[in-house]
Amino acid sequence: MSKSIGVLDSGIGGLTVVSALQKQLPGEDIVYFGDNKNCPYGNRSAEEILSLTMDMLDFMKSKDVKIVAIACNTISTLIDSYKDKYDFPIIDIISPTVDHIIKMDTYNVGIIGTEFTIKTGTYQKMLLEKNPDIRIIGEGSKSLAGLVDAGKFDDPETREVIQTHINNMMEKGDIYNLVLACTHYPIVEDVFLDIAPELKLINPAFQQAKAIREHLYQNNLLSNKEVGTLEIYSSGDTNVYTKVIEKLNLKNIKSINTVDPKKAAI
Ligand code: DGL
């Protein structure tokens, strides 16, 4: 029997990656962990984020997964600190997205993410290394991920925050493509599009799912089932999951559970 793919995130955002995986790899079983209790990660220190991430990775180890997708951009900026500590391969969300943007041959790119992600400059450095002519406008948000994690999808506050961020970026210069560099943001992609229909939005979830598919194919690890299942674990309230599952049209949910990753991993 083939093992599952593990997907982890600071909260519900990583379900955007699950959605892309279910489209690209419908036969795979997926184990999801969202650390809703400690979300948002984007306003925490690197030490805190690392410690919480290792708890989730230990949980994934206890589930005997064959690969882990770090859906969270914020956690992905720290990948070098934990990727070699586990037996399973760990795939970040930033590298495949950077490769995709480079292939698009575009020059004016906006990147909106958590304060942590933007401050690390990870996207900016990786893009400029591959194309020194690319023009990047980075915008960090303190509150957007938290609002989405609280289920405020179609909400005036969420709309206002997105509007302010888009205005900030536009004031700094022209952008044609906008990377939704936080997994929570594609959940409210419709609001972004409504406010700025001229922008081409880039959802990193598709690129990460492609990278996972490629890795599994190269290593002969693809499942041969027709239909895979989705097992959801959260450290916090699971009510919001019903709302996201419906919005993203996620399929074949086996169970939704609340767990403490520390206790569950033992
Ligand atoms: N989902 C996370 C990301 O992709 C951010 C949300 C948070 O701040 O916890 O960066």
pLDDT per position as a tens digit, 98-125: 999 999 988 899 999 999 999 999 999 9
Residue nearest to atom 2 of ligand 1 (CA): 72
| Ligand 1 mean position, distance from CA 76 (Å) | 10
Of residues 70 and 266, more confidence is placed in: 70
39 is catalytic: no
What topology does CATH give the domain 5-92+206-264? Rossmann fold (3.40.50)
What pLDDT does residue 200 have?
A: 97
The model's confidence at residue 264, banded by pLDDT at 50, 70 and 90, is confident
What residues does each domain of the chain span?
5-92+206-264, 94-204
The pTM of this model reads 0.97
| Ligand 1 mean position, distance from CA 186 (Å) | 12
Fold match, 5-92+206-264 / 94-204: yes
From the list 49, 94, 127, 182, the catalytic residue is 182
What topology does CATH give the domain 94-204? Rossmann fold (3.40.50)
Q: Could you tell me where the beta strands, DSSP code E, fall in the chain?
A: 5-9, 30-34, 67-70, 90-91, 108-114, 135-141, 177-180, 200-202, 230-234, 253-258
Q: Which residues contact 202 (CB under 8 A, 6 or more apart)?
A: 97, 100, 101, 177, 178, 179, 180
